[in-house]
Amino acid sequence: MSVSQTVRDFITLAIQSGGWMEMDRLYLENRVIAMIGEDSLSKAEVRIVSQNAVELVDRLLVQAEKNGIITDLQAEKDMLEAQLMDLMTPPPSVVNAYFAQYYSKDPVQATDYFFKLSKDNDYIKTREIARNIIFPAETEYGELEITINLSKPEKDPKQIAAERQAVKLDYPECMLCMENEGYKGRLNYPARTNHRIIRMNLDGESWGFQYSPYAYYDEHCIILSEEHRPMKITKATFQRLLKITEVLPHYFVGSNADLPIVGGSILSHDHYQGGRHTFPMAVAEMERTFELKDYPSIKAGIVKWPMSVIRLQGKNQKELIEASNRIFEKWQAYSDESLQIVAQTEDGALHHTITPIARRKGDLFEMDLVLRDNNVSKEFPDGIFHPHPDVQHIKKENIGLIEVMGLAVLPPRLEAELKEVENYLLDEENQVADYHIAWADHLKSNNQLTRENVTQVVQKAVGAVFARVLEDAGVFKRDVEGQEGFTRFIKTL
């Protein structure tokens, strides 16, 4: 296909995306040839386009590199790709207008429109996400979800060197700020020219709704404060979470904890994560219930889950907010030193918070409150309620909102490392990492291993380790002593 035909096909898709009209064709084609370093267009037909925009942009990037507009640096390619894909994307005001138009008919239609737009213009990196290794793992808590995250490309030495030399700026302040919308990017900051944010009003405060570029689950979205401010769990958090499930009843929404060790990777900007996905924790049952006398309309119970989860259900949002906040405040001040649970240390630091998750169950609102403690000790310097050293060969990073709900996001190193473990188990030539050997020896002595079943055995074992990781993060352990401790806390409510 000629360069001119590629340009013409790409603009045909851009017009179909809803931001332009046929009258804009020549203008858009001239913009594209300027962007890729061409001086003219030869004859090409306007036709039905069978390729998608991503495939066409790949061709345009090749031509831009030939013409010396960009080098082979991935960051330069990403910035030009985002600028080209910006032509596939209506302006923010138009996107918001379309969203509102669809929403007036059905919230599902609105998110379907925005999700498709974000995939079609490659803001959501569907090709990269498809590289992730995903498999289920059956455990005593139900079927957990395991992901080895391969979607973010590894940086080559040239890219790393370029980032070191690039000017350091504080604009945008972080990757969740509104100022990312339409931002060109830099060698050391991701391109966001094709990024769009839906404006949301949450009880009089301005928030934004967007999708995650490297989604970990179905329709993985982020709801972010317009103001750049630190994450903080308060009574307003519960109010906002329930409001979001009212606005988007087909989505769950949750917040990472707001303390280091137990919090997410971005604590500097107030935000929530949601999506159209049913996590393992959502289908886990309440194994015992209890009464909250001050909130008679609320059903309360402890969820059968490796972490310590209190579930509240009710139709009355106000009462659900009050009950959630009561439990949160009680937990913030609660200590049980026999279980190493300490709310405040001698230095005055507070160590208790929660990971809250809200969803709809028919006409009920449901709130899960996951109790968190970020204390450390000599025995567990990474965190008493953090993956312990014997499971860190699989997962040593923080246990954030997504893992809490039963989806493991495991590091890319495991793709190659687990293959070496399989070779080790089959007594074939291998380069198994030292930190996997004790685990691999245990698998070898407890399984009949063949070439046909070795991958299944290793994946099942990874699932068992992830369940243990979550148990480590649970403040009230699943043994008799831990559950008696959980009962003592419940009685304070």
CA–CA gap between residue 423 and residue 242 (Å, rounded)? 49
Each residue's pLDDT tens digit, 315-324:
999 999 999 9
Largest CA distance in the chain: 80
Q: Is 209 part of a structural domain of the chain?
A: no
In percent, the amount of the chain with pLDDT more than 90 equals: 94
**Per-residue pLDDT at 69 exceeds 90:** yes
Question: How sure is the predictor about 168, in pLDDT bands with cuts at 50, 70 and 90?
Answer: confident
Same domain, 53 and 147: no
Average pLDDT rounded to a whole number, residues 187-201: 96
Average pLDDT of the chain to the nearest whole number:
96
Q: Is 305 part of a structural domain of the chain?
A: yes
Same domain, 304 and 399: no
Same domain, 74 and 137: no
Same domain, 313 and 430: no
Same domain, 272 and 319: yes
Q: Is 208 part of a structural domain of the chain?
A: no
CA–CA gap between residue 448 and residue 146 (Å, rounded)? 23
Average pLDDT rounded to a whole number, residues 123-139: 96
Question: How sure is the predictor about 161, in pLDDT bands with cuts at 50, 70 and 90?
Answer: confident
272's enclosing H/E stretch is strand 271-275
Average pLDDT rounded to a whole number, residues 197-201: 97
Same domain, 376 and 423: no
- Cα–Cα distances in Å, from 379 out to 76, 200, 376, 384, 387? 46, 45, 8, 8, 12
In percent, the amount of the chain with pLDDT more than 70 equals: 99
Q: Is 303 within 8 Å of 263 (Cβ atoms)? A: no
Q: Is 49 part of a structural domain of the chain?
A: yes
Q: Is 110 part of a structural domain of the chain?
A: yes
Query: Which position has the token pair 């317009």?
Result: 226
SS3 367: strand
Query: Which position has the token pair 């993060």?
Result: 473
Question: How sure is the predictor about 155, in pLDDT bands with cuts at 50, 70 and 90?
Answer: low
**Per-residue pLDDT at 359 exceeds 90:** yes
- Cα–Cα distances in Å, from 321 out to 33, 245, 270, 365? 55, 13, 19, 10
CA–CA gap between residue 442 and residue 436 (Å, rounded)? 10
CA–CA gap between residue 349 and residue 382 (Å, rounded)? 17
- Cα–Cα distances in Å, from 38 out to 4, 200, 459, 469? 9, 41, 50, 55
Average pLDDT rounded to a whole number, residues 238-263: 96
Residue 18's Cβ-side half-sphere holds a number of Cα atoms within 13 Å equal to: 17
The structure tokens listed for 246 are 């009212």
Same domain, 142 and 284: no
**Per-residue pLDDT at 329 exceeds 90:** yes
Q: Is 224 part of a structural domain of the chain?
A: yes
Nearest of 412, 400, 442, 401 to residue 425 by alpha carbon: 442
SS3 436: helix
Annotate 187-218 with b (16+ C-beta within 10 A) or e (fewer): bbbebbbbbbbbebebeeeebbbbbbbebbbe
Question: Into how many domains does the chain fold?
Answer: 3
Average pLDDT rounded to a whole number, residues 324-335: 98
Q: Is 190 part of a structural domain of the chain?
A: no
- Cα–Cα distances in Å, from 188 out to 84, 151, 153, 454? 20, 18, 14, 41
CA–CA gap between residue 411 and residue 150 (Å, rounded)? 8
- Domain residues for the domain of 449 are 133-152+386-473
CA–CA gap between residue 19 and residue 159 (Å, rounded)? 34
pLDDT at 23: 98
Same domain, 395 and 374: no
Same domain, 249 and 367: yes
Average pLDDT rounded to a whole number, residues 15-21: 94
Q: Is 308 within 8 Å of 353 (Cβ atoms)? A: no
**Per-residue pLDDT at 154 exceeds 70:** no
pLDDT at 156: 66
Same domain, 380 and 390: no
CA–CA gap between residue 328 and residue 359 (Å, rounded)? 18
> Is beta strand 299-303 parallel, antiparallel or unpaired with respect to 271-275?
unpaired
**Per-residue pLDDT at 263 exceeds 90:** no
Same domain, 113 and 255: no
Query: Which position has the token pair 């972080």?
Result: 174
pTM exceeding the 0.85 threshold for the entire prediction: yes
Residue 483's Cβ-side half-sphere holds a number of Cα atoms within 13 Å equal to: 10
Q: Is 357 part of a structural domain of the chain?
A: yes
- Out of 20-34, 150-164, 261-275, 438-452, least confident range: 150-164
Same domain, 276 and 393: no
Q: Is 488 within 8 Å of 336 (Cβ atoms)? A: yes
Out of 384, 404, 424, pick the residue that ends a domain: 384
**Per-residue pLDDT at 159 exceeds 90:** no
Each residue's pLDDT tens digit, 360-374:
999 999 999 999 999
- Cα–Cα distances in Å, from 276 out to 104, 220, 252, 334, 448? 19, 7, 7, 34, 39
